[in-house]
Copies of this chain bind each other. A is one copy, B any other.
Amino acid sequence: MHNFTFSNPTKIVFGDGQIATIGREIDNQHHVLLMYGGGSIKKNGVYQQVIDSLKEHKITEFSGVEPNPSIETLSKAITLAKQENIDYILAVGGGSVIDGAKLVAAGVKYEGDAWDILAKGAKVRSALPLSCILTLPATGTESNGNSVITKRSTQEKLPFSSPLVYPRVAVLDPSVTFSLPERQVANGVVDAFVHTMEQYLTYDVNAPVQDRFAEGLLSTLIEEGPKALSDPSNYDVRANIMWAATMALNGLIGVGVPQDWATHAIGHEITALHGLDHAQTLAIVLPSLMQHKRDKKAAKLVQYGRRVWGIESASDEEVIDQAITKTAAFFEQMGVPTKLSGYGIAADAIDGLVAQMEKHKLHAIGEHKDINPEVARKILEDAA
């Protein structure tokens, strides 16, 4: 096991009816900026629960945070927050709203253009306190310090991280996910699954606690994901997926172990050029990347196949073959195609994706930094 530092200060308030507690979690002396997206929270009742709980608080609303939140939109929120002397942010929504709220929390305290935090890596030295009510389990942003923001004018999509933007409180009520569209449920399961794999499917460093925690999340998502589609009003299924998605990217399973993230890096280019959902791109890239890296990842692939999928075949190579096949079949079972063609993208689009990787200088990604644009070309060709 490698040396590590781990800290996660987010308080999780989990369960049916817990949104009603948010008013107690936030001191009512605060002037709260209530941020949300396109209005689904008004249809599913979440908005009213939040308003009811915050009835003793001064609230200013900012709606319209879009999927892949943009600096153009968020700059308006920063301006509003400064004008209104906002001193607390409450994000209500999925990963995009919460990621956006993190930039607003940091941007209000930043002297200058908030885009500097992403484009120039300007250090976040202060941020407004931020809490969130999660409505879509997927990204783990409800309990980490990461955020990804898009600049529409230049088509850039950049991340930032700061310990200052961890949500203080994250309310996770699984029952609010009943009303999600099937595609978002499926995407969330695939996203959480691949987050786990990026921290697990690497060379081995003798870290059995981390391995087994990761395997526990993978097994849970494999069991519960399809049930969320076939039995969409089952509370326990939603709760187990929601908790698994949080644990998949709150930093815990990644302590002291190598990490990969090449699937994400290649996938981002597909989203940028072709507009696919983030999880769809992961479902395309991961099985092919597993195949291309089967030698260097062999020991963990065998462990994954035997422990997570229960494959009992005699030879390690057979276990790896089956493990890759079963991974892709799971994504397909969730309704998420695993080939570019499944989204109407022809093989001749691969040149453009490789060129984007060159442009973004992705010459050394993955756990061994041995994936460059030409290796990615082969991975994509096998996923055509």
List chain A positions with a Cβ less than 8 A from chain B: 1-18, 206-209, 211-213, 215-217, 219-220, 223-224, 236, 239-240, 243-244, 247, 252, 255-256
Contacts and interface: CB of A to CB of B under 8 A. Distances in A.
Contacts of A206: 236, 240
Contacts of A239: 1, 256
Contacts of A11: 5-7
A166 to B, nearest CB: 10
Contacts of A213: 212-213, 216
A214 B3 CA distance: 23
A304 to B, nearest CB: 14
Nearest to A171: B5
A384 B187 CA distance: 56
Contact of A212 (B3, B8, B216): B216
A227 to B, nearest CB: 11
A83 to B, nearest CB: 33
Nearest to A217: B209
B208 A224 contact: yes
Contacts of A223: 208
Nearest to A234: B206
Contacts of A224: 208
16 contacts: A1-B236, A1-B240, A3-B14, A3-B16, A5-B12, A7-B11, A7-B12, A12-B255, A206-B236, A208-B220, A209-B247, A212-B212, A212-B215, A216-B216, A239-B256, A252-B252
Contacts of A18: 3
A236 B7 CA distance: 22
A255 B252 CA distance: 15
Given A8-B8, A216-B215, A216-B216, A243 B14 contact: no
B2 A209 contact: no
Nearest to A253: B213
